[in-house]
Amino acid sequence: MAWLRSIGRALVSAVRWVGRHTRNRLGPRGRVIFDWVVGLALIAIGVITGPVPIVQGWIFVLAGLAVLSKHSRLAHRWFEKIKRAGRGARDRLRRKD
C-alpha cells in the first residue's frame, strides 16, 4: 500500500505544482478553463487506461475529480462519495488486523 500512497502524493504534488506556476499567468477565467481541461483530461486518461493491467486508471479518475470538484457540484459529490467509501474500506481493513 505504500506504493499507492506515493503515487497519490506524486499526483497531488504535480497538480499543485502546475497550479502554483500557472496561477499568476492566467486570470481567474483562464484558471477555470485550465482546471476543466486538466480535470477532463485526467478522467479521460483514467477511463482509457482502466482496462490496462499495468496502469491504474482509477487514480487518474480520482485526480480529475479532485481538480474538477472546485468547479462542479457533481464532481464534488462523486469525489466525496468515493473518499467516504475509501475511508470505510480502510477502517474495515484496520479493524481486521
Residue type, 85: A
Q: Determine the Cα–Cα distance for residues 60 and 62; give it in Å rounded to an integer.
A: 5
Residue type, 70: K
The stretches of the chain forming alpha helices (DSSP H) are 2-23, 28-48, 57-68, 73-96
Domain residue spans of the chain: 2-96
Q: pLDDT, tens digit, for every residue of 38-48?
A: 899 999 998 98
For residues 59 and 11, the model is more confident at 59
Q: What is the pLDDT of residue 41?
A: 93
